[in-house]
């Protein structure tokens, strides 16, 4: 099993190969796409990418936690987190490899 990480540069290069645009155009396209997704999540909109999955912002309440090194208890502040739910198609693709 491969534990390789796909980088932004590799995605940009793949767009260049598959779409036939310049490297700069590919990089700009990827940057703008990620900006749009980030902006939507910042305003707590749900981002749905057909055949890929959904990104959702979820609010977490404050809770008691513990420092694993010292064992000292501390309050973990309320925060917003991004969650991802893969589509059935993506789940199937990952499951069959």
**Three-class HEC string of the chain:** CCCCCCCHHHHHHHHHHHHCCCHHHHHHHHHHHHHHHHHHHHCCCCEEECCCEEEEEEEECCEEEECCCCCCEEEECCEEEEEEEECHHHHHHHHCC
Exposed, middle or buried by CB within 10 Å (0-12, 13-18, 19+), for 4? exposed
| Annotation: CATH topology of 47-97 | HU Protein; Chain A (4.10.520)
Q: What is the pTM of this model?
A: 0.77
Q: In this predicted structure, what is the pLDDT of residue 1?
A: 43
Rounded Cα distance, 30 and 39, in Å: 14
Ranges in the chain annotated CATH 4.10.520.10 = 47-97
Q: In this predicted structure, what is the pLDDT of residue 3?
A: 74
Packing angle, helices 23-42 and 8-19, rounded to 10: 120
First to last CA, the chain: 10
Confidence of residue 11 (pLDDT cuts 50, 70, 90): very high
Q: What is the mean pLDDT of residues 10-25?
A: 94
Q: For 37-85, how does the pLDDT look when each residue is reduced to its tens digit (9 = 90+)?
A: 999 999 988 999 999 999 999 999 999 999 999 999 999 999 999 999 9
């Amino acid at each position: 099993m491969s534990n390789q990480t796909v980088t932004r540069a590799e995605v940009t290069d793949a767009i260049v190969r598959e779409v036939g645009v310049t490297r700069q155009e590919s990089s700009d396209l990827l940057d703008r796409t990620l900006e749009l997704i980030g902006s939507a999540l910042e305003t707590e909109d749900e981002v749905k990418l057909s055949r890929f999955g959904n990104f959702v912002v979820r609010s977490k309440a404050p809770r008691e936690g513990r420092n694993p090194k010292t064992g000292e208890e501390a309050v973990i502040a309320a925060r917003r987190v991004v969650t991802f739910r893969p589509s059935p198609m993506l789940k199937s693709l990952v499951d069959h490899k």
